[in-house]
């Protein structure tokens, strides 16, 4: 049953650290390789490099919410939101995917 998941290539869940500059401060973010791949795709689609996208995203969230308790977790969730949106677009759904709706 879980073969599709248990057979996942270990390289995809290898932890990768990247240094990014946010508000002029260099910080290190550690995410699994697959999440970095998705973030690279999102950033390119928005016309940014990944570090530029992460900086802009960070600033936008700070303006909207005031703080970010766990930026790496936020990035992982953003990746899932992006993937759900891509599925909705490819299947022609007209309603927001469940993850995008407020709980």
Q: Comparing C-alpha atoms, which of 92, 59, 57 is closest to residue 76?
A: 57
Q: Which phi and psi angles does 72 have, rounded to 5°?
A: -60, -40
Element (H, E) at 28: strand 25-32
- The domains located in the chain, with CATH, are 3-100 (1.10.3990.20)
pLDDT tens-place string over residues 56-97? 999 999 999 999 999 999 999 999 999 999 999 888 876 665
In this prediction, residues 1-20 reach a mean pLDDT of: 89
| Structure tokens belonging to residue 67 | 């703080």
């Amino acid at each position: 049953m879980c073969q599709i998941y248990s057979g996942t290539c270990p390289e995809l869940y290898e932890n990768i650290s990247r240094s990014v500059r946010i508000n002029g401060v260099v910080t290190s973010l550690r995410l699994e390789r697959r999440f970095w791949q998705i973030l690279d795709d999102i950033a390119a689609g928005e016309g940014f490099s990944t570090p530029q996208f992460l900086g802009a995203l960070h600033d936008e969230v700070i303006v909207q919410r005031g703080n970010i308790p766990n930026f790496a977790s936020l990035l992982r969730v953003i990746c899932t939101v992006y993937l759900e949106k891509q599925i909705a677009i490819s299947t022609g759904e007209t309603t927001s995917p469940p993850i995008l709706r407020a709980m």
